[in-house]
Amino acid sequence: MHESHNPGLQEHYSRSSWIMRANKWGMANAEWGMNGVRLSRHAMACEFEIIAIGEDRAALRDIVELALDEVEKLEERLSCFRPTSEVSYINSEATARPVIASPDLFRILSLAKQVWSDTAGALDVTSGPLVGLWRKAEKTGTEPDEQAIAAVLEKVGMGRVLLDDATHAVQFESEGISINLGSIGKGYAVGKAASILSEYGVECALVSGGRSSVIGMGPGPDGDGWRVGIRHPSKLDGRVDEILLRDQAMSTSGGPAQLDADVEERFEHIIDPTTGMQARSEAASVSVIAPDAALSDALATAFYLRGREFAERYCSEHEGVRAIFSYECAPGD
C-alpha cells in the first residue's frame, strides 16, 4: 500500500482490481455469536445484513427485525421502478407543480444536491436517462451520436431540481427530468437501519447493504471497532486492507461491474453526467469512509468518476472523510 501525504487518502496497487464485500466482513461468528444476533433480508436487489451485540438476544432480534422492516419500507418509497412509490409519483407530477416530499426523501435529495454541487456534477440522481441511452447502445452495439446525447442531456441535471427547504416541496424546472436514487439510496437505507437500532438502545452493531455500504456502530466485538475487509474479487480469503469502523460508514464503488440497485442488471460503463459520454476511471475501485452512509455512498460514486486528485482535495477540506483508491497496477507501470 502507498499512503498519500494527505491523511484522508490511501492507495493500493495490484495486478488485480479490489472490491469490498459486504456479505462477510472478516469477523468470525464466534466473536459475536454468544452475545448477539445476525439477520438478513433481501431488499434493493441485495442482501441487507445486521449483526447486533447485546445481552438480551430476544429483544435484539425484535429490534433488528424492525430495522430491516424500515429498509423494506424505504425500498417501497424510493424505487423509481415501482409505479406506486413516492419517487415515481414525484417523477410524474413535479414538472407540473411542486410536490411535497416525505422527510426521508427530502433529506436524500438535499444531500444529493449538495454532493452534486461539491463534486462538479459527478453525482447526479437525474442521470438515469443517460444510463438508459448507453445501456441500449451496449445491447445494440451502436454508440449514440452527439445529437442523441445532447437530447438526453436536456433531461439531466440536479440543478433542474428545485428544493424548498421550508415546505419540503420538490419541483422540476423542465420536462423529462426524473430521479433515480440508485447511487445514494442504499447508503441512506443502511444509515436509517442503524438509526433505528440506536433509537431502541442498540449501541454495538454492524449494518451492511450488499457489496456497497456498511456502518460500524460502537466498539465492535473486540472493543476497538468493527474490522471490515476490502477484499480481492477472485480470492475469497484475499484482502488488501482491513479498516476499523467505529461509528463510521464505508462505501465502495467500482469493481468488474456495477449492480443496478433496482433492476438487477449489470452495467459496466461509467457515464459522466456532465458530458453524457463514457468515462474511464483511473482506479479499479474507490472506498470512502465518512460519518454517514448516504454521504459515503454518494462520494464513492463521485470519486470513482472524478479521480484521485479530486478526492484528495475534497478530503482535505472535509473533516471525517477518507478515500481508499485501489488500482490494477501503479500509475505509470
Domain at 119, CATH number: 1.10.3980.10
Flag the least confident range among 23-37, 117-131, 238-252: 23-37
Question: Do 198 and 229 share a domain, yes or no?
Answer: yes
Q: Of 113, 144, 172, which residue sits at a domain end?
A: 172
Q: How many residues does the chain have?
A: 333
104-157 confidence digits (pLDDT tens): 999 999 999 999 999 999 999 999 999 899 989 888 989 999 999 999 999 999
Domain that holds residue 95: 86-172
Please indicate, yes or no, whether residues 135 and 49 belong to a single structural domain of this protein: no
**pLDDT value of residue 279:** 83
Q: Which of 145, 172, 199 is the C-terminal boundary of a domain? A: 172
| Mean of pLDDT values over 13-35 | 41
pLDDT at 11: 60
Residue 91 sits in the same domain as residue 69: no
d(CA 167, CA 321): 30
Judgement on whether residues 258 and 292 belong to the same structural domain of the protein: yes
CB distance 320 to 242 below 8 Å:
no
Q: Is 68 among the domain residues?
A: yes
Helix (H) or strand (E) holding 128: helix 128-140
Residue 1 included in any domain: no
- What CATH number is given to the structural domain containing 251? 3.10.520.10
Domain stop point among 172, 206, 241: 172
Q: What mean pLDDT comes out for the span 151-174?
A: 97
57 and 190 in a single domain? The answer is: yes
Query: Alpha-carbon distance 153 to 150, whole Å?
Result: 5
Establish if 24 belongs to a structural domain: no
Q: Quick one: 227 and 253 in the same domain?
A: yes
Q: What is the pLDDT of residues 72-102, one digit of tens each?
A: 999 999 999 999 999 999 999 999 999 999 9
**Position 17 in a domain:** no
